[in-house]
Amino acid sequence: MAININNLQGNPQVKNDKVEQNVQRQQATVQQNATQQGAQRQDSVSITPQAKQFGQVQEKATAASGIDQNKVDEIKQAIAEGKYKVNVEQLARRIMQFEGDLFNK
């Protein structure tokens, strides 16, 4: 069996045309798939009412200083008028509890 080595490459123009056609088909397929996926899939976000409420509560907590200004004003006024009375037994008990917690840990 003889092999013709003179025409191994065949017709390069025909082969190149086929390669180009395949590349174009693949590119068209990729573009078509991307277009279809884009049309089918639309991203969206929805926030539940609970999440909205949580956000509002979180904003209020961040804005709050943690101090009941009305109570502070009442105590200041009572001290200024001499009407504020200190419960010495409760104060002593809480001091002892604080020191116990502080030194036992």
Core vs surface per residue 49-63: b (16+ CB within 10 A) or e:
eeeeeeeeeeeeeee
What's the pLDDT at 83? 94
**Contacts for 90-93: CB closer than 8 Å, 24+ residues apart:** none
Query: What is the rounded average pLDDT of the residues 58-63?
Result: 86
Query: What is the rounded average pLDDT of the residues 18-44?
Result: 76
What's the pLDDT at 37? 64
What's the pLDDT at 98? 94
Determine the residue type at 104.
N
Query: 104 pLDDT exceeds 70?
Result: yes
What's the pLDDT at 1? 56
Q: For the whole model, what pTM was predicted?
A: 0.33
Instruction: Decide if 78 contacts 84 (C-beta within 8 A).
Output: yes
Identify the band that residue 10 occupies on the pLDDT scale cut at 50, 70 and 90. Answer: low
